[in-house]
Structure formats: structure tokens, C-alpha cells
Amino acid sequence: MAENVIMICGLVLYAAAFLLVMRYNVHMFQQNGYKNKVQLNWLMQNRERQRLLLPSFLAAVLAGGLFCVATAVIAVFGATLCLWYFLMLAGQKAKKKLVYTSRVKRLLATNVLLAVIFAVLCIVGKSRMLAYFTAGLFLLCEPFLVVFSNVINAPVEKAVKKHYIRDAKRILAAHKELTVIGVTGSYGKTSVKFFLNALLQSKFQVLATPESYNTPMGVVKTIRSSLNPTHEIFICEMGAKNIGDIKELCDIVHPKHGVITAIGPQHLESFHSIENIIKTKFELADALPADGLLFLNGDNEYIRREKREQTSIFYGLESFGGEKNTEQGAAAGYRASGLKVSALGTVFTVTAPDGESAEFQTKIIGAHNVVNIVGAVAVAHTLGISLEELKLPVRRLQPVEHRLQLLERGSVTLIDDAYNSNPAGSKAAVDTLALFDGLRILITPGMVELGEKEEEYNYEFGKAAAVSCDYIALVGKRRTEPIARGVLDAGFPEQRLFVADKLEEALNYAYALNTEKHKFILLENDLPDNY
């Protein structure tokens, strides 16, 4: 009797552990974009996160193969061990919580159904050994069962996706006067989208994809839930991790005009080469109609070297390479000059291709953000809003959340650049930090998704940070080793370099630094939960 009670308790604990393991891995699967290959690669690279599954499985096998109370206790111990570990893991505050979308619910349902089927088979078999073995096996295999469940659901998900896309296309087709503007780039696209939305709203009814909605289903959801007959312009942010991603989005929304904000080494793990990134971003250019306009960041070397037949309007700082642009048949472009940057914001002058110019003021800091604002000004001015009319909207622009966002905390100013994760943006961020008069502190976990060049780019980031910072706190000892090498190789004092396991430790270190100067703490990049 006692043995049966212990056995039942063990199986109940295994069931609870299974549900926690399933929820955690579905959460990571969602952050990995529901991509089977990406999830499997993530599992291989993060094996330590599942490290207690194997001993729990072995405990279950041991208990199932013997016939005494002691081994039933082993099964309970194995299940308790796993349950405790995943309760601890699940208890960590997620930066981006699991969203229980319809797809996630279907994925969970399929996963649970598989478990129930095997559980019923065990009950029918009336074999305690089989029951324990199956319970342990499901825990051990659950990370892979999530992917298997997605494979089973693939035909359903494909049909659901097609239905929603057809509905979004139908809605767009009904808005015959709607102008669609596509915005893409390795970085800067979300900022340009928000700035352009704010500027165009001074004259037009505008809808823009919210937050970082830049996938097919995110765009489709925006169209189906928010587009109405009064909208005149739809600004569609377009993200990509693979060749063909931008084309897929263009085939849905059919943009009239396009903006390519920048091209650089981002998502190299999936793109494999910078050439593939260039090809993918310019899928937007290929999708524009003959009378469409393509707005290009002339400061970006990868963009400048691309030759296009269609009308291109360049924008950037005064040194963005006008001669090269002229060779491509481009107009003189929109140029920013006379930049003055301080903690209060930025002042600069914009000159349009026709010679019209105006001085602008903004609370937003960073020369690269000025380029983003000029890109938005270029589009708005081309669509009929004068530079003089754009002065007030530019003055009212708010920093995009987590992108060089200034947060005052008494004697400390936090510069929140948590959503920046590319080499050019990170270099621009520490260059901006160098402009402030005070104690300049960098806190960063480094950059990811840079493929084989990840170590090289983080090393170079460390060298750049050494020039601009008074103190540096790195988060994550193993991943930030290349940054630390770059920092020290650049001659940075080792006593001013701190390496922490968690962000909280790094922040405590920065706040504890004894100084009479005002502290400026740059929070550069924040890795997602799956890192």
C-alpha cells in the first residue's frame, strides 16, 4: 500500500515537472520564431538548461526496474529534483513573457495529447516499470517533443497562416487610395518607423505597425485589427532573418515607397554572409512599382555601393558621399549638418535637394539617431510637408523605448539602449556616451547572432568602449570574454573593468562607485531570455 502511494506521488511529481518543462521550452520556441532548426540549434547550445532531465530519467528507470519501496523513493527523488529545478527556472523574471497565442495553445494541446496517449498505454499495460520509464522518458525528450509537436501541427499552421494572409490582402485591396511605405534595414528600422509616423501624422491619417511587429503574422495582425477606411498611409516595418523574408512581406502589403535604413552584420547566424543581407534588404527595392520612391541611408557603405534603376533619394549627414550618389543617378539628397549634441538633445540643420533648409531641435541624442530623423524628414518632405512644418513634430519626437532613451534617476542618468545589438549601433552608443560630462559607465552583455564573426565584433566593441568609458561592467563571464580582451588590449585599466554574472550585480557595482561627478550609465543591449 505504502509503495503504491509513493509510486503515485512520484508519477504526479513527474507530471508536474513535465508541464513545467513543456511550458519553458514552448516559451523558448516562441522566442526562436517557431523555427524547428533554430530551436534545435538552441537546444544544442544550451544543454545545461536541461541538465537535470537525465538524472531524473535514470532515477525513473532505476525505480521502474526494481520492486521495493526504496526504489520508489528514488523515483520520487528524481521527480522532485527536476520539479525543483524547473520551478526555480520558471520563477526567474522573463524579459519577454510567454504569449498564449492561438498557435501556442495548439502547440501545447498537441504536446499534452502525446503525453496522454502514452500515459493511457502505460495504464492499460499495468506495468509499473513501463509507467516510470515513460514518465522519465517524456521528461528527457520533452524539449524535442515541442519541435515534434510543431511538425505535427505544420499543416494546420500553414492553413491558418494562409487564411489570415488572404484576409489581410482582401482588406488592403479594399483601400485603393492607401499608400504603403515599407521600412527595413539591419538596424534603425523601428526608430525610423516611429519618427516617420509622428511626422506624417501632422498632415495624414497614418497607421504604423506597433512596437517591433515586423514579421508576416505581426503585419497581418496589424492590418486585420487596426486598418480602417480613414487611413491614408500605412507604414510597415519589415524584419528578416533569412533570404526571402522581405519579399514575403512585400507580397502581402505591396509597398508604394520604401526606406532602407542601414545594412550591417546582423543575424549572420541565419544569413551566413553580408551579401545575403544586402540581397534580402533590397528585396524591398525590387518590389516597388515604377513610380515608387526608394529612400536610402547614404552614410551606409553597403547601401551606397548598390546600383538601382529606380529613383533613389539619399539621406544622411553632410559627408554621406554625394559624388558616389550622383554616379547612381540619385538626387543630391537630404543632408544634416551643424550637429550639436548634449544631454538636453540635439540641434542640426537639414538641407533638402532643392536647397531648402531648416534648423531642427530634438530631445533625442546620438548622431545615428539624427540620420534616422533625417530619413523620416526626407520621406515626409517628399510627400508634401514643408521643412518649416516639420520643425514642431521633430521637436516633439520622443526617444524610442530602449533605444538611447534617457532616464533620469537623481544623481544618475541611465541611457537605455537595451534593444541595440549590432556592431555599428553599439559603437555609436559608446561614442554618444563619450559626449557626456560626468562619470561614464558602460554595462553590457555584448552582441549575439553574429555567426562566426561574433567574437571578432565583440572584441572590436571592447576596444571602442575602452576609449569612451571611465568604467565598464560586463554581464556574463563566458560570453563577454572577447569584449574584456578588447578592453584590456586597448590599455583600459583592469581595476576599472568589472565582470558580473547578472545585470543586477553590474548595476549595483555602477551605483556603488564613489564619485562627486554625475553618473551616466549606458545600458547597451539586453539579451533575450533564450540567451
Q: What is the pLDDT of residues 49-60, one digit of tens each?
A: 666 556 655 555
How far is 414 from 442, CA to CA, in rounded Å?
10
What is the pLDDT, as a whole number, of residue 242? 85
- Mean pLDDT lowest for which of 286-295, 330-339, 486-495, 497-506? 330-339
With contact defined as beta carbons under 8 Å apart, do 89 and 24 qualify?
yes
- Mean pLDDT lowest for which of 122-126, 339-343, 371-375? 122-126
Q: Which residue is listed with cell 510637408?
A: 385
Confidence of residue 327 (pLDDT cuts 50, 70, 90): very low
Mean pLDDT of 477-497: 92
Residue 174 has pLDDT above 50, yes or no: yes
What is the pLDDT, as a whole number, of residue 382? 95
Q: Which residue has the higher pLDDT, 464 or 4?
A: 464
Task: Classify residue 170 by its DSSP letter.
Answer: H
Confidence of residue 304 (pLDDT cuts 50, 70, 90): confident
Question: Using one digit for the tens of pLDDT, what is the confidence trace for 261-278?
Answer: 999 877 767 777 888 999
Mean pLDDT of 179-193: 93
How far is 492 from 113, CA to CA, in rounded Å?
57
Question: Using one digit for the tens of pLDDT, what is the confidence trace for 73-88?
Answer: 655 666 676 666 666 6
State which amino acid sits at residue 489: D
How far is 362 from 399, CA to CA, in rounded Å?
9
What is the pLDDT, as a whole number, of residue 127? 57
What is the pLDDT, as a whole number, of residue 323? 41
Confidence of residue 159 (pLDDT cuts 50, 70, 90): very high
Confidence of residue 1 (pLDDT cuts 50, 70, 90): low
What is the pLDDT, as a whole number, of residue 397? 92
Burial class of 434 by CB neighbour count within 10 A (0 to 12, 13 to 18, 19+): middle
Mean pLDDT of 247-258: 96
What is the pLDDT, as a whole number, of residue 67? 47
Residue 322 has pLDDT above 60, yes or no: no
Mean pLDDT of 115-132: 65
